[in-house]
Structure 1
Amino acid sequence: MQITTTYGTFKIIQLVSDKDELLMVSKWDSLVRIFESKRVFRLNQDDTSFGVYLCKQECAEILNHLIKTLDYKEWENFHSAPKERFFSTNNLA
C-alpha cells in the first residue's frame, strides 16, 4: 500500500517471512517525523529509501494518524477512473 500525507509518501509492505510484521518505507525525513531515529534504517546503500519495522497494531495506530493528513490530490484520479475497473461482474470460475 502507498499513502501520501503531509508527512511524506510511505509504502507499507507485509513481510513474507512473518505475516505479523510490516515494513514502512519512506525517506529519512518523513520517517523521523513519526518514529525515533534509532528505529529507522537504510534499506539499500545506493538508495535513499529507509525503513521501520512495525507490528500490525502499531501500524494501525500510525495509519490512523496518517489518514488524518492525507493528500487528497490523488483522489481525483480515483474518481475519474471507469467503474468497471473496480467492480467487475465477471466470474472467474
Structure 2
Amino acid sequence: MAMNLIKKTNEYKIFKRGDERFAVQDATGKPVNGEEKVNILLAEELIKVTLPGAEPVEEAPAEEASAEEEAPAEATDEEEATDA
C-alpha cells in the first residue's frame, strides 16, 4: 500500500494510507497507536470522534413514528373495554 505524507512535525509524521486510514510515526520512525494516535489526529483535525451510545439525529423521527403507530392500538383496547 502506498502511503502519502500528510504532515511532518518534530515529534511525528502523519501518513494517509491507500485504504484512506491514517498512520502516525514518532520521530524515531516507530508507529504510534492507541489513544496517543487518536489525540494526534484529533489535534490535527483529521478525524472526528463520536461517543459510543450517542444516537444519530436521523433515528429520533423513526422512534416518534413508531410511537404514533402504537397510540391507535391502545385506543382500540380502551374501546373494547367500554363495549363489554
TM-score, L = length of structure 1: 0.29
Bigger helix share: 2
The answer to which structure, 1 or 2, has the higher relative contact order (CA under 8 A, 6+ apart) is 1
Bigger strand share: 1
Asked which structure has the greater CA Rg, the reply is: 2
